[in-house]
Amino acid sequence: MQTPLFRLPFELERGSRVLLVGAGGGSDVVCALPVALALRSLGCEVWLASLASVIPLERVEGAEQVLPQLYRVGPHCRVPSPKYCPESFLAEWWLRHFGEERPVWGFTFQGVRQTSEAYRYLVAELKLDTLIVLDAGVDALFWGNEHDYASPEADAIMLLGAYSIKECRRIFGFTNFGTEGFEYEVRHADALQRMSELIRAGALLGACALAPGCSEGKAYLEFCRDSWSRIDEIYQSNMVGALQSAMQGSFGDSPVSYRTQSAKIWVSALTLIYWFFDLDAVAEAKPYLAEVLDSETPLQVLQAIDATRARLGVLPHSDIPI
């Protein structure tokens, strides 16, 4: 049997300097880890970043605040109780796995303007040429008038903050398709409609699947086992767990984490696919784009999304006939 590969559907030059950002709060950055590993194997210099919206980073001993909205989190930081800090765990794992002391950057939950400033700092500090924003779900694709739009403001802020950085190549990706229909009533027919609109616009870069036998898949599972053994059960991410469960061949209503006792998750082979699009096209499709580029708070972004929802009308409940 051939060894499976996690082959990214876009090319970057060897030596490219890439920041890979988890779009939503919490553990989206963990689902971005396989992409980071694939880029590293291709000779890219890779850094990880995350929207730290669960545990305030000022509570993490050793985290360095470089801007009011940005922290540098290294492998030797000490995490307070409750034990949950994906940024610290990833930095520690990277040092142990590769022998490289590489920080993970933590964004605080601000508006698009401050988030753009943090991106600009990192572009200059790390001499970046590429930004990749990855969502562990589908809601970053949404306009706001979908049947259920989950939690759109965090993803929108990280996406639109990257959109403003014109001196870098910008790529958007997402994974875990199909998993959010129980918890949020997200209709994946709505997600497929948005994807088809982007394909029509020429924005699709391609897709790849995270097979359990590929080196990136094995490393992902190793990281998840290590980090989950140290965090409080309530902070086990359903999205992280869904990828693990799909890699083990689970199908249907699956107990992917402690939290699925109260929030069900649907897992299938589709969960393993990583989709990639031109980030500008995803950003420019959002009807509220111009209204939020100078936003100061997440509430302003959410209000603009809700105004779009009221203006366009909510899409009807729709299921996929498969």
- Output the pTM of the full model: 0.95
Joined together, the tokens standing for residue 26 give 């919490």
Amino acid at 187: R
Give the ranges where the chain is alpha helix by DSSP (H): 28-31, 33-41, 86-98, 112-126, 152-163, 188-200, 215-228, 238-247, 279-284, 289-292, 298-312
Residue 322 burial (CB < 10 Å; 0-12/13-18/19+)? exposed
Instruction: Calculate the CA 104 to chain-centre distance.
Output: 14
Mean pLDDT of the residues in the chain: 91
pLDDT at 167: 94
Per the structure, the complete domain to which residue 286 belongs is given by 17-212+270-309
pLDDT tens for residues 7-19?
999 999 999 999 9
* DSSP helix, strand, coil percent of the chain (3-state; round to 5): 40, 20, 40
Is 38 inside a domain boundary? yes
Q: Do residues 97 and 41 make contact, with C-beta atoms less than 8 angstroms apart? A: no
pLDDT tens for residues 213-253?
999 999 999 999 888 888 877 788 888 889 999 999 999 88
Closest C-alpha among 24, 309, 322, 311 to residue 180: 24
Is 321 inside a domain boundary? no
Joined together, the tokens standing for residue 136 give 């562990």
Is 175 inside a domain boundary? yes
In the chain, the number of structural domains is 1
Handedness of CA 87, 153, 45, 12 (dihedral sign): positive
pLDDT at 151: 76
Longest dimension (CA), the chain: 54
Band (pLDDT 50/70/90 cuts) for residue 183 is low
Is 151 inside a domain boundary? yes
Amino acid at 52: A
Band (pLDDT 50/70/90 cuts) for residue 260 is low
Band (pLDDT 50/70/90 cuts) for residue 78 is confident
Q: Which residue has the higher pLDDT, 236 or 109?
A: 109
- Pick from 21-25, 182-186, 267-271 the range whose average pLDDT is largest: 267-271
Is 282 inside a domain boundary? yes
Is 202 inside a domain boundary? yes
The yes-or-no verdict on residue 304 having pLDDT over 80 is yes
User: Average of pLDDT values for 67-87?
Assistant: 88
Is 29 inside a domain boundary? yes
Domain of residue 169, CATH code: 3.40.50
pLDDT at 227: 86
Strand, coil or helix: 274: strand
Per the document, the length of the chain is 322
